[in-house]
Structure 1
């Protein structure tokens, strides 16, 4: 009997080319690849390889987007497939933030970029990959503690492809003062160091001393600010590669209170949008980036079917529906014509933290792309049949 089994196993063993194995695995979702690390040592080595992770992320077909949603004081985090119905509990998964200090604490999202979410907790910053659980605490700024009167009012998190580096950007101003920002700090994850940009002095403020989180689009961070010297609102832009600021004017006919409008990136062909969030919610699209004349009113959303009478878009689905927050702890989904289709509360709290992230295997910083090490894998019939099965979240 033992002899028969050995003979059968030898007969069914397949030798697949290294390149074919890689191409198959590159097309699988992140959750499946994490499970497949247990198949054999060769697959563990391959899937853990930084070059493989980068190649997988650059495969558009596997770049699945999800929402991370939680209360600032909660240990439990929910990852939500926003392409599914909001009441489909199978489309969400519970994560945790057990790497952060124990309660009591207050966690805030300060940005999302290439699958990483930037968290602030107890005056410390953490980079976190919700797909794999990988996390890293970032070094504290040596600049800000020198002057306790400085307050952060603009916060951003992005990626500079020219240096393959993740960057944290903080714009600071004096507390209890209406003077313009006088300090800009940048943290380089690759260098693990903070650096101050000299000579920055512009006339932007943020109302109510709250912290605005920058919207990452087209290699730059964008914030809605108050241009106090001209008595108007504007969009300030920070180019991550050039390390320079510029400005985009808002639509001429867009008249909303500063505290009730926001920025978002939407559409199958991503475009930057400005939205007024209250009754009714208006969505304006900039059809040509940085062309002020291209602002167009795209959608008007009636918020009568949302209990809070508030709708701030976060993302658009594959079917071009729009998902947004209700200003409390709920999510709403409307059609591209502005008709509200679903609304769901996720907790009894009054506040929530939400961000869109792209699933990936990346640990922190991948090295520059190079060829995979040449080796071959032996894959038997069981593994070959495993690869043919559909992999769902």
Structure 2
């Protein structure tokens, strides 16, 4: 279990500046006196409430007006969200907990928070909020939503200005949100081109939840008309696109600036980044940006988990994982590995890299054939999370997998 004691201590000084302490009246009964002491001391009460599960926090908002104010206060929500962990992920809208022995409450059964006749699907998860859209239908009539699965709050995003000629060419919609560096969420839209020329112009528009309006960015992107902008990750104040040979880049929101995204050293296995291929995983966890590649080394298949430097100057290898370590989870694969010269990389899909407060708490969620496995990168322990046999067939792709993070954020 991750130790959160140090994080709780860090929040105490901040909370003391937010909530005042009220004197407690005398009482003949010690229990009544203790209850009054806690109930009238916002700082003490907050320290207790920070240790409760999110379901209790939401329920306790109905205790009184004062408790609702306290639990909705920005200082409390920031402190609670900073301590919050990720209990699971969504695979094509199906929720899978990370701990099958201590399962958390299912955040939702279906994405039915808004009556969309085309249904709703998840596009992106970002620090507790989900960017969703209509599941079917033409792009020009598709609706977009922000949804907090913890609080069940949602908002409908206004249509991108420019009429149908713009909306039918939307190639990307991405969410930027973080409780401290981007507390008011933003949406980044890339649309175009209207022609099929080799080098085409893609426009960028940005929606701000503060103004409720879209604005056109001063930047634009020249790229091949078939360029792919997908698998977006918000990290360190910028939207990053999963790097490929076509458009490795990131967009700094505050500066309205587009920058080139450096690539890690090419893996030894041939085919990486060729013909526009994407890495097998690209995502963020606990303030770290990760990229995962296969590496075929001396007839052994490995996973390289890269981490980006904070200044965007380059990548370094954070973890190396031997694919052979996964075989005990799926004994049927051992037979396939009787010929080690053949790398069966197609048997694996990386769904998530989840960092802990310490490296020994870090784990990878991956799909091996039809099983979803949790693998600890330090002690190499394995835990089966779900058997997909009879549920899904074929590849799922991490672009349809979205982490769930509990958040009390109100927008």
User: TM-score of the superposition, structure 1-length normalised?
Assistant: 0.71
2:372 paired residue number: 331
- CA shift for structure 1 position 204: 6.3
Q: From the two aligned structures, give the one with the greater helix fraction.
A: 2
Unaligned 5+ segments in structure 2 are 1-26, 136-141, 334-345
2:349 paired residue number: 311
Matches within 5 A, 1:3-152: 12-14=31-33, 15-16=36-37, 17-57=41-81, 60=82, 62-71=83-92, 77-78=94-95, 80=97, 82=98, 84=99, 87-88=100-101, 90-91=103-104, 93=106, 95-96=108-109, 97-101=111-115, 105-109=119-123, 111-122=124-135, 123-143=142-162, 145-147=164-166, 150-152=169-171
Equivalent position SS for 1:21? helix
Separation in 2, partners of 1:89, 1:18: 31
| 1:185 has 2:201 as partner | no
Contact 1:239 1:245 in 2 (8 A): yes
Equivalent position SS for 2:48? helix
- CA shift for structure 1 position 187: 0.9
- CA shift for structure 1 position 311: 2.5
Separation in 2, partners of 1:156, 1:328: 30
| 1:155 has 2:177 as partner | no
- CA shift for structure 1 position 19: 3.0
Q: CA RMSD in A?
A: 3.6
2:392 paired residue number: 349
Contact 2:373 2:382 in 1 (8 A): yes
1:214 paired residue number: 232
Separation in 1, partners of 2:76, 2:313: 41
Contact 1:215 1:223 in 2 (8 A): yes
2:220 paired residue number: 200
Contact 2:116 2:134 in 1 (8 A): no
1:384 paired residue number: none
- CA shift for structure 1 position 162: 6.4
Matches within 5 A, 1:346-385: 348-350=391-393, 351=396, 353-364=400-411
The C-alpha deviation readout for 1:319-367, integer Å capped at 9, x for no partner, is 4342334398853222315957234235713448322243122221xxx
Separation in 2, partners of 1:18, 1:337: 40
Contact 1:237 1:248 in 2 (8 A): yes
Please identify, of 180-189 and 313-322, the stretch whose mean Cα deviation from structure 2 is larger.
Answer: 313-322
2:343 paired residue number: none
1:380 paired residue number: none
- CA shift for structure 1 position 289: 3.3
Equivalent position SS for 1:101? coil
Q: Would you say how many aligned residue pairs link Structure 1 and Structure 2?
A: 336
Contact 2:122 2:130 in 1 (8 A): no
2:292 paired residue number: 275
Separation in 2, partners of 1:333, 1:189: 36
Contact 1:321 1:336 in 2 (8 A): yes
Separation in 2, partners of 1:66, 1:342: 15
User: Please, which of 249, 252, 256 is the counterpart of residue 236 of structure 1?
Assistant: 249
Q: 1:132 to 1:281 in 2, by over 3 A?
A: farther
The C-alpha deviation readout for 1:153-193, integer Å capped at 9, x for no partner, is x3321137567421111222326734344211111111111
Q: 1:116 to 1:225 in 2, by over 3 A?
A: same
The C-alpha deviation readout for 1:191-248, integer Å capped at 9, x for no partner, is 11111114413336766x6x5131111111111244xxxxx35631111211211112
Contact 1:328 1:349 in 2 (8 A): no
User: TM-score of the superposition, structure 2-length normalised?
Assistant: 0.69
Contact 2:307 2:318 in 1 (8 A): no
Structure 1 runs (4+) greater than 4 angstroms displaced: 8-11, 160-164, 204-207, 265-268, 290-294, 303-308, 327-330, 337-340
Separation in 2, partners of 1:240, 1:104: 31
| 1:300 has 2:321 as partner | yes
Q: Which has the higher contact order (CA 8 A, sep 6+)?
A: 1
2:338 paired residue number: none
Equivalent position SS for 1:35? helix
- CA shift for structure 1 position 79: 5.8
Unaligned 5+ segments in structure 1 are 1-7, 227-231, 365-393
